[in-house]
Amino acid sequence: MIGLSDAGLDVAALVRAVQSDAHGAVVTFLGTTRATSPGDPRPVVALEYEAYDTMAIAELETIAREARERFGPLEIAMMHRTGRVALGEPSVAIVVAAPHRGAAFDACRYAIDAVKARVAVWKREVYRDGDTAWVANTPS
């Protein structure tokens, strides 16, 4: 299960999509809207995401394939929100199931860093005062 969604993310569905008897570890990463942005003291009330759908989904699929090649065997599900995401709501979810926890953690970390660096999704912060600003995604 890989894609974009303009609705809330169903993390339980992502977990079900990757679970199997072959995998003893399931790692979930959720990126959520936080109240402030590093280096900017203005309170954030929401994020707004735009994506180049075809390009973004193709790159998500590439990242999933790379994770399997580097850390496999494993299953991976990734969804990214588009549209408005309120404070506290998840905007990106990555779930990895692998035979052992080390590979699951490593693949999940690799995937979110690659998503932030390479996927054609753009983020605008919406501040409490009504102002907005486009911000760059940054891998950790």
The ranges assigned to domains in the chain are 2-131
CATH number, span 2-131: 3.90.1170.40
Confidence of residue 31 (pLDDT cuts 50, 70, 90): very high
Res 37: pLDDT: 81
Average pLDDT over residues 31-49: 90
Res 137: pLDDT: 75
Average pLDDT over residues 66-72: 96
Res 139: pLDDT: 59
99-131: pLDDT as tens digits = 999 999 999 999 999 999 999 999 999 999 999
Query: What are 127-135's contacts with CB under 8 Å, separation 24+?
Result: 127/42, 127/43, 127/44, 127/45, 128/42, 128/43, 128/44, 128/45, 129/42, 131/42, 132/48, 133/40, 135/37
pTM of the model: 0.92
